[in-house]
Amino acid sequence: MKPILFYIPPPAWWIMVVIIAITGLVLFFLYKKRKVKQGDIIFTLIFITGILLGLRKFGPFPVRTYGVAVLTGLIAGTFILHKLLKREGINPEFIPDFVFWIIVGVILGARLFYAIFYEPEYFLENPLRIFYVWEGGLVFYGGAAGGIIAGYAFLKKKKLPIIKIADAAGIAVLAGLGFGRWGCFGYGCCFGKITNSPIGIRFPAHGAPGITSPAFEYHLKLGLVSPTDKFSLPVYPTQIISSINAFLLAFILYLLFRKKKFDGQIASLSLIFYGITRFLIEFLRVNPQFLGLTVSQWLSIFFIIYGIILYRKYYIKWNKKIS
C-alpha cells in the first residue's frame, strides 16, 4: 500500500520562468507549423502558470498512486482504441472528444454508485467528499454504466458506427481497468476477505500521514486488531487478482477481435466474460450483500444476461446476411 508515490516540491522562481519559456517556444514552433492556434497558446501558458503558482503557494503537491494508475489506464485504453479502430477502417479523429465524455460519465457513474450502495450515510453527512476521487471509491459497474450512456449519446449524435466502436472499446476498457486496479492496491481499497492462504497480504495501519488503511480500519471496527497494531490481518489481494483478470480478458478478446465474425461479437463477449469473472472474484471481497449476493454480483448477472441477449441479436443479424 502506497497511496502517495512522491511529492512535487514548490518550484523556485527561476525554474518557473524556464518552464514557461520552454513551453512558449514549443507552442510558438507548433503555431508556425499550424498545429495550434493563438488562443491555444494563450490558454496553455495561463494554465501552466496557474499550476506553477499554485505549487509555489500550496506545495509540496502529493502525486497519488490512484491518480497515476487511472491516468495510465486511460492513456493505454485510448491508445488501444485508436489502433483497433484504424484496424476496423474507422477514422479515429473523434477519439479525444469521445474519451472526454466517457471520462465524465465514468467518474459520475462510478462515484455515485459507490456513494449510494456502499457508504450512503457517510456521503449524506459529507456530500462534498463525493468529488474526492483520489480517495478511491470508484465502482467499475457504476463507471461502466455512466461511460456507456455518455459514449452512446456521443456516438449517436455524431452518427458514428456504434457497435463497431463498442467492439474495440470493450477491449480498451478492460486493458485500462487492469492498470486502474493497481490504484486500488496503492490506496488499499477494494480489499479482500481475511485468509490464511499463502497469497494473503497485510495492509499497514497507515499508508501515509493522515491516511488510514481501509482494511486495517475495517478490521479495527470489527475488533480484530487493536489501535496499536501496525498491520491488518492477511486478506486476499483482490486488487491484483482483478488486475490480472482484466489484462487476461483484454488479451483473449483481442485474439477473438482479430478473427471476429460479426459486429457486436466482442462487445457482447466482454460483458459476458467480465460478468462471470467479476461474479467469482466478489466471493473473495468484502462488500455489503443484498439477498445473499453483493450488489456487484447482481450486476454481474445483469451484464451476463444482457451480453447473451446482444450476442444472440447480432449473431442472428449476421447469420441472415450470409444465408
pLDDT digits (tens, 9 = 90+) for 192-251: 999 999 999 999 988 777 778 889 999 999 999 998 899 999 999 999 999 999 999 999
Cell 489502433 found at? 83
Pinpoint the alpha helices (H) of the chain. 13-32, 38-58, 65-87, 95-117, 120-125, 140-158, 162-187, 214-221, 238-257, 265-281, 295-322
Predicted local distance difference test score (pLDDT) of residue 302: 93
Predicted local distance difference test score (pLDDT) of residue 132: 64
Round to whole Å and give the CA distance between 277 and 272: 9
Contact between 246 and 143 (Cβ < 8 Å): no
What is this structure's pTM? 0.82
Q: Mind spelling out the 3-state secondary structure of 269-296?
A: HHHHHHHHHHHHHHHHECCCEECCEEHH
Is pLDDT at 297 greater than 90 in this prediction?
yes
Contact between 41 and 31 (Cβ < 8 Å): yes
Which residues lie closer than 8 Å to 160 by C-beta, 6 or more apart? 90, 94
Predicted local distance difference test score (pLDDT) of residue 233: 94
Q: What are phi and psi of 317, to 5 degrees?
A: -60, -45
Confidence band (pLDDT; 50, 70, 90) for 136? Answer: low
Q: What is the mean pLDDT of residues 66-94?
A: 89
Angle between helices 265-281 and 295-322 (to 10 degrees): 160
Nearest partner of 91 among 101, 76, 81, judged by Cα: 81
Q: What is the CA radius of gyration of the chain?
A: 22
Lowest mean pLDDT among 94-98, 165-169, 283-287: 94-98
Contact between 136 and 189 (Cβ < 8 Å): yes
Listing DSSP states for 184-241 in one string gives HHHHT-S-B-B--STT-B--BSEEETTEE-HHHHHHHHTTSS-TT-SB---B--HHHH
Domain ranges of the chain: 1-59
Confidence band (pLDDT; 50, 70, 90) for 7? Answer: confident
Round to whole Å and give the CA distance between 51 and 310: 46
Helix (H) or strand (E) holding 9: none
Contact between 110 and 143 (Cβ < 8 Å): yes
Nearest partner of 235 among 221, 247, 219, judged by Cα: 219
Coil vs helix vs strand at 254: helix
Round to whole Å and give the CA distance between 173 and 177: 6
Nearest partner of 170 among 92, 91, 273, judged by Cα: 273
19 CB-side CA count, 13 A:
16
Q: What is the dihedral of CA 20, 23, 25, 26, to 10 degrees?
A: 180
Round to whole Å and give the CA distance between 136 and 150: 22
The residue with greater pLDDT, 190 or 252, is 252
